[in-house]
């Protein structure tokens, strides 16, 4: 097993700022836009972006939710292990809102598919966009593409993209792990 | 620990402490789901569940059915009174006929203790015991403990008093197993005739005076007097029972602390507890009912995920 650094802490920092600017360009003051981080790892990206938008760009208020997709996944009973749920916390209505779904890595698109189904339980959004930090292209099982992407990478099926965050893992870094 | 150690839920006796914690954590997530405006998730969309009730039930059956539907399972309902059981069909034949219709899980209530265990050895489906005679009623005990955890933060080291007919009560036995497993202290209180002789072997204390018991406990679980199971007289009159073992507002006010009152339902108002107690803020009876759906969703979800 070998691993190479895909993005350093500094590169992640720059990319997050760029993504925040792109969101700002499309959504301005976020009065009709909500950010939803997908559990378990998308919430770190969502929290960082929310923080940058508030502190660097003076956005007064952003609705930020976290969404667990476990009960909506299409691989229930297909693996060896029980799929363990995590917390969902969406304290606002998404009816007629612009929703930005946020995840760390877009791979097959199945998680996003589950997230889109899960979102329906919280109302009918005006529009849903997708933001991912890493987009593993050529590996989609479903016709799903991001509206905002941090970095596009080519990784084959045996490889794994691992995203580490300072608040959870001690440092910001993204590895490409080859088996 | 991310999966159950069992393939069936036959009784609390067969569970580990980590199983109970996993069920509670999963139920937390389902509780959030059932408080959404759209209360349904698609997890069990390819699972078919038969609810087989050989004994009357209202809330357990409704609660299971709702939990199954909230998980998007297909549901078959079967009551023994309207079936071929009355024509002499055996339990295994009845269930195998139902399973031949490609059913994955069976929720069963049966008047005979051990019916679920027997079934689990003979049929190929995940079995959930919804009450087997005077033996166990595991989902009730789970939702009771879950409600205590929700109200008091934890079950460990809490003092729980179970009052009433301990002898015939599957709720009492399952509760004792569940509470002891989680490190709670348990005492029982009731007429001597309705306390099993060897109850001490389960690590449970006995109090004969209700007020002494209430002063000791943090939670009192008031069981229903099950007139349908009392084939002979275990106490002189209902009035006398109420006088000695019924909880009323005056008795609760005379205690120097506020305790939590639970009841598995259906309540005999004016027998085990008076109406003013049943409707007071100290009781968590309706929380128990709400939690029942979340707990049953958790049990169904976790057991279904082991069906391959």
The pLDDT confidence band at residue B84, using thresholds 50, 70 and 90, is: low
What number is the ipTM of this complex? 0.84
Asked if the model's pLDDT at residue B274 lies above 80, the reply is yes
Residue B288, C-beta contacts closer than 8 angstroms, at least 6 positions apart? B143, B144, B147, B262, B263, B264, B265
Interchain pair A71, B41: CB under 8 A: yes
Q: Which among B2, B36, B308 has the least Cβ separation from residue A121?
A: B36
Show the tokens assigned to A120.
């329906």
- Omega of the bond prior to B137 within 30 degrees of 0, cis? no
Cβ burial, residue B17 (10 Å; 0-12/13-18/19+) = middle
Interchain pair B305, A83: CB under 8 A: yes
Pairing mode of beta strands A63-67, B105-110: unpaired
Taking the domains of chain B in order of start, what are their residue ranges? 12-137+289-304, 138-288
Select from B140, B174, B121 the least CA-distant residue to B11: B174
Asked if the model's pLDDT at residue B97 lies above 80, the reply is yes
Per-residue pLDDT tens over the stretch B120-176:
998 889 999 999 999 999 999 999 999 999 999 999 999 999 999 999 899 999 999
Helical H runs in chain A?
A: 9-27, 42-55, 110-119, 166-169
CA A176 – CA A5 distance, rounded (Å) = 6
CA A85 – CA B2 distance, rounded (Å) = 10
Radius of gyration, CA atoms only, chain B: 19
Give contacts of B46 with chain A, Cβ < 8 Å.
77
Interchain pair B29, A121: CB under 8 A: no
Asked if the model's pLDDT at residue B83 lies above 80, the reply is no
Answer yes or no: same fold for B12-137+289-304 and B138-288. yes
Tell me what pLDDT residue A44 has. Answer: 95
Interface A-B, measured as beta-carbon pairs within 8 A, has a size of 56
- Omega of the bond prior to A40 within 30 degrees of 0, cis? yes
Tell me what pLDDT residue A110 has. Answer: 95
| Residues 21-40 of chain B whose Cβ lies under 8 A from any Cβ of chain A | 25-26, 28-29, 32-33, 36-40
Taking the domains of chain A in order of start, what are their residue ranges? 30-67+90-157
Give contacts of B43 with chain A, Cβ < 8 Å.
71-72, 76
Q: Report domain B12-137+289-304's class.
A: alpha beta
Cβ burial, residue A141 (10 Å; 0-12/13-18/19+) = exposed
SS3 A55: helix
Per-residue pLDDT tens over the stretch B57-66:
888 999 999 9
Give contacts of A82 with chain B, Cβ < 8 Å.
2-4, 302, 305-306
In DSSP notation, A2-50 reads EEEEEE-HHHHHHHHHHHHHHHHHHHTT-SSEEEEEETTTHHHHHHHHH
Q: How far is A119 from chain B (nearest CA, A)?
A: 10
Interchain pair A76, B38: CB under 8 A: no
Summarize the confidence of residues B91-97 as an average pLDDT: 85
Interchain pair B29, A123: CB under 8 A: no
Summarize the confidence of residues B210-224 as an average pLDDT: 95
**Model-level pTM?**
0.91
Q: Which CATH number fits domain A30-67+90-157: 3.40.50.2020, 2.60.40.1290, 3.40.50.2000, 3.40.470.10?
A: 3.40.50.2020
Share of chain A above pLDDT 70, in %: 100
Q: Which among A82, A88, A120 has the least Cβ separation from residue B2?
A: A82
Tell me what pLDDT residue B230 has. Answer: 66
Q: Does the domain at residues B138-288 carry the CATH identifier 3.40.50.1370?
A: yes
SS3 B50: strand
Give contacts of A70 with chain B, Cβ < 8 Å.
29
Give contacts of A84 with chain B, Cβ < 8 Å.
2, 26
How distant, in Å, are the alpha carbons of B18, B76, B107, B262, B291 from that of B128?
Answer: 19, 14, 5, 24, 17
Provide the Cα torsion B28, B30, B34, B39; round to 10°: 160
Summarize the confidence of residues B32-40 as an average pLDDT: 91
Contact assessment for residue A38 and residue A111, using Cβ atoms and an 8 Å cutoff: yes
Q: How far is B3 from chain A (nearest CA, A)?
A: 6
Mean pLDDT, chain B, rounded, equals 92
Q: Which residue has the tokens 């409707």?
A: B279
Interchain pair A84, B2: CB under 8 A: yes
CA B176 – CA B163 distance, rounded (Å) = 12
Asked if the model's pLDDT at residue B229 lies above 70, the reply is no
CA B89 – CA B94 distance, rounded (Å) = 6
Tell me what pLDDT residue B231 has. Answer: 67
């Amino acid at each position: 097993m070998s691993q190479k650094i895909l993005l350093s802490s500094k590169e992640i920092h720059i990319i997050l700022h760029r993504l925040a600017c792109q969101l700002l360009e499309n959504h301005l003051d976020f009065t009709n836009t909500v950010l939803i981080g997908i559990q378990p790892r998308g919430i770190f990206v969502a929290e960082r972006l929310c923080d940058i938008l508030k502190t660097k760009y003076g956005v007064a208020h952003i609705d930020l939710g976290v969404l667990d997709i476990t009960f909506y996944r299409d691989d229930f009973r297909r693996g060896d292990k029980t799929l363990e749920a995590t917390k969902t916390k969406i304290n606002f209505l998404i009816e007629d809102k612009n929703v930005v779904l946020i995840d760390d890595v877009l791979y097959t698109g199945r998680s996003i598919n589950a997230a889109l189904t899960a979102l329906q339980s919280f109302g009918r959004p005006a529009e849903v966009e997708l933001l991912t930090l890493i987009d593993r292209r050529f590996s989609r099982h479903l016709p799903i593409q991001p509206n905002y992407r941090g970095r596009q990478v080519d990784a084959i099926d045996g490889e794994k993209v691992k995203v580490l965050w300072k608040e959870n893992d001690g440092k910001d870094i993204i590895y490409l792990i080859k088996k | 620990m991310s999966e159950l150690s069992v393939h069936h839920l036959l009784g609390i006796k067969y569970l580990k402490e980590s199983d109970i914690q996993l069920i509670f954590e999963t139920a937390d997530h389902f509780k959030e789901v059932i408080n959404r405006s759209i209360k349904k998730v698609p997890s069990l969309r390819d699972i078919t569940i038969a609810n087989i009730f050989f004994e009357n039930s209202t809330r357990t059956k409704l609660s299971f059915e709702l939990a199954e539907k909230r998980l998007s399972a297909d549901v078959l309902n079967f009551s023994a009174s309207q079936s071929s059981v009355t024509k002499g069909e055996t339990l295994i034949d009845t269930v195998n006929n139902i399973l031949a219709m490609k059913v994955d899980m069976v929720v069963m209530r049966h008047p005979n203790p051990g019916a679920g265990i027997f079934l689990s050895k003979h049929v190929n489906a995940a079995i959930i015991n919804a009450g087997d005679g005077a033996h166990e009623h595991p989902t009730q005990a789970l939702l009771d403990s879950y409600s205590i955890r929700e109200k008091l933060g934890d079950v460990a080291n809490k003092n729980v008093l179970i009052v009433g007919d301990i002898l015939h009560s599957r709720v009492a036995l399952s509760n004792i197993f569940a509470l002891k497993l989680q490190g709670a202290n348990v005492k029982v209180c009731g007429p001597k005739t309705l306390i099993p002789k060897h109850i001490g072997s389960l690590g449970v204390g006995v109090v004969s005076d209700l007020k002494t018991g209430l002063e000791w406990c943090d939670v009192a679980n008031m069981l229903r007097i099950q007139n349908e199971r009392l084939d002979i007289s275990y106490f002189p009159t209902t009035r006398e029972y109420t006088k000695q073992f019924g909880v009323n507002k005056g008795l609760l006010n005379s205690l120097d602390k506020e305790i939590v009152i639970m009841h598995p339902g259906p309540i005999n108002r004016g027998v085990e507890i008076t109406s003013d107690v049943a409707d007071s803020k100290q009781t968590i009876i309706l929380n128990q009912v709400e939690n029942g759906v979340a707990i049953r969703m958790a049990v169904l979800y976790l057991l279904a995920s082991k069906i391959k």
